[in-house]
Amino acid sequence: MSISSRFSVGIHILALLEIDKTEVNTSENIAMSVNTNPAVIRKITGMLKKAGLVNVQPGIAGAKLAKDISEITLLDVYRAVNAVQEDELFTVHAKPNPDCPVGRNIQSSVEIQFTAAQRALENELENRTIRDVVDDILNKEPLES
């Protein structure tokens, strides 16, 4: 299957908080932009908060960035929203036959390859920040002000 859209929604939220930083971004406002339910936004915002990427407080309207967006990598968001659970991007079949030379060795041999591939993905995500996304958006459509 593919990686949860929580990831892209998380990026959306952070980009929105930057671009609309002068406004009060309630879960309802954000939900309008993302086009989903406010509760979904609160769930994801909660995860971003746990990761120290945003500040939100019960009873107080609006989420705010906790860091400069150039210091929030896509990997931070990826991990924050559990885009992939347990950081296990690949699944290895669980119980190959230990009585077979291939069966009893395949898991660790495959794991080596999977780990390398996963690391390649994560390195790429680590080299990119919310700033890159925001710049791209503003480049397409400069804000009037």
Binding residues for DNA (CB under 7 A)? 1, 4-6, 26-28, 36-40, 42-43, 45-46, 49, 56-63, 82, 85, 91, 93
- Which lies closer to DNA via its Cβ, residue 45 or residue 73? 45
Closest approach of Cβ 121 to DNA, in Å?
16
- Which lies closer to DNA via its Cβ, residue 1 or residue 112? 1
Range 74-78, long-range pairs (CB < 8 A, 24+ positions): 74/11, 74/125, 74/126, 74/128, 74/129, 74/130, 75/122, 75/125, 75/126, 76/51, 77/7, 77/10, 77/11, 77/14, 77/48, 77/53, 77/130, 78/7, 78/122, 78/125
Burial of 143 (0-12, 13-18, 19+ CB in 10 A): exposed
145 binds, among DNA, a second copy, none (CB under 5 to 8 A by kind): none
Interface residues with a second copy (CB under 8 A) are 1-5, 7-9, 11-12, 15-16, 19-20, 32-36, 74, 84-85, 88-97, 100-110, 112-114, 116-118, 120-121, 123-125, 128, 132-133, 136-137, 140-141, 143
